[in-house]
Structure 1
Amino acid sequence: MHTRGKTFLAAIASYVIGLVVCGTLLGVRNLYAGEPPRVSGERVTGTVQVGACDRVGPASAAGFGYWWYCEITVTLPDGRAVAAVVGPSVVTPDDRGRPPALVGYCSRTEPDDCSFTREGRNLFLGLLGWFAMLLSLAALVCTAFVGGTALLIALLGPARVERWFGRRSPEAAQTPPPAEPSPDDSPYEPLGALPPGTGSLRIRFWYPEPATQVYQQARPRLSVDATDLDVLNWSTHRFPLAPGPRRMEVSAVLPEGAVFGTVTETVTVLDGVETVVDYEAPANLTSSGVLRVGAAQDDAGTASVGDWKTNGRFLLAVAALNVGLCWLLSILR
């Protein structure tokens, strides 16, 4: 299956799992209709008249389950009548014949701005409800980030995400690449723009100058997913590879067949992007080499490192995508 298709399915799965977790936590929170442990405002009680009620469920902003939202009018001890809508299931249509005792917390600056719950306070259940609410908010934020990230990559493709939101780290900007030890240029021509569903690996083989005499007699060897690739000399090589994680093993081989400087690492080849890797052979032949995964290059040849997930522009794009998705769903309802 296409990489972007898999990412789209991952986005849907992230949203579904996240919303299930949020809905479950909110449902647990709303099982307790008593007074919360601590609420700001003036505490009042009064006589309740239950008006029209609407039933929501099985999935709503109140979580999983069926809940009643009812219009009420509360007559306070000072004679004022305050109208409000309460839910979920603080009152039900069955309470019209036997109005329950409700307690309200009213704003000190706007006395008619009140919220009402059932009378009675259970500290443990109240704290449990607040804890479930905080967990649901945390799950919602994680769902928005993970699902939005996957959806944005599915819509734009990894190459555009890297190109539009990538940024060069200070370390990458300050550290110059090592000089080519061989005057020979790459035996492969630079690749053009890569179509979606394809990737490219550009790997440069080089050795430290003190060991030049040894490495002039040796040649590099590259194996990708247990398959040897054709490496001609100590220079830059390009190989078209399918996107995804690739197990790479790089070493140096002497004419008599001795292998040294072996290093093994998993490198992810990006979709539509040329992935850049450097192999540095060891100065000490008893040591392993070093494999560095550098900046991926887009089709314009501009390097960027994969720290776009911490980029403010990327986070803003993910937030905007989630807001747009919520707006679209509200229209389709």
Structure 2
Amino acid sequence: MGGDFGPHCIVPASLDCLAETPSLHLALVGQTSVLEELISRYGRVDSARLKIVDADEVVEMDERPTQALRGKPRSSMRVALELVRDGHAQACVSAGNTGALMALARHVLKTLPGIDRPAMATAMPTRKGSCLLLDLGANVDCTAEQLYQFGVMGSVAAQSLGVAQPRVALLNVGIEAIKGNQQVKAAAVLLQQAVDLDYSGFIEGDGLFRGEADVVVCDGFVGNTLLKSTEGLAQLVSSRVEALCRRSLFSRLMGVLALPLLRQLRADMSPAQYNGASFLGLQGIVVKSHGSAGREDFRAAIRRAAEDVRHNLPEQLHSRLERLLATDQSTDGGIDVTTVDGMPSN
């Protein structure tokens, strides 16, 4: 029910994904009457793979996380997360209030042992393909230990995407060891000491887009600013190219000849292709879509969640975290890692 366009975008995007992926099953959580009316506009729907779960309360986009956590026990966001917690769904996808989704996810699903705070991560386009950027806004202020944890989680997530030995870097104002604030410098020391982690040092913003790392770590304030700036720049370049192609008869002719290449470039750089940020560090899969996501964008978020399910991302994170964080936690009084019958216990 959240996001700028709510179910008017999410319902058709969901039906598109069902049509393209026969193994997919979806539960639309929200106000039943609204969802049923929208679904009816699209004709016959496979009821065996699409169901509606009623939730009469809605978390507004400008609502405080504490209000969503304490005052709306029947919100669509909370009910969706409870479906994951109780094993009735394998992932939750939302375009709603980011702060509320993070607070509810931590409360309902809990974090993995050894993780203070979950981090939002998404793929960013680079010259060599893509890299994983985290955090994207879930944690505006971060300690060195949390940045270290983000690096560990990002490395595991990148491996699930097919990178055998991910290069992890810290986003900084320079690559020299003397540059940066105290949190970034301290996090660099922790990452350098990590076992079985390929830490490549500091990276600047231009290095990210050159593909000099597979995982780039920063706090949520910096990450969100970088993400939104990148999206704005992509839109600017696209609009400028279109304007140039309309400037004269010759430029129109050249634009027609270059049209296939321009369309491919737009598709490669489209924010829709990279929509869907995974919440890493939870005992369950949660994917956050942009609030302004359209139909195509939300399809990408659903696909991102399906990929996380296929790779069993929380279990992969849990097994790696036990090994990578154990030494650090045993020496600095950090969080104790415990398991019950092989499953994480918080």
TM-score range normalised by the length of the shorter chain: under 0.3
Based on CA coordinates, which of the two structures has the bigger radius of gyration?
A: 1
User: Could you state the TM-score of these two structures normalised by the residue count of structure 1?
Assistant: 0.22
Would you tell me which structure has more helix in proportion to its own residues?
A: 2
TM-score by length of 2: 0.21
Structure with more relative contact order (C-alpha pairs < 8 Å, separation 6 or more): 2
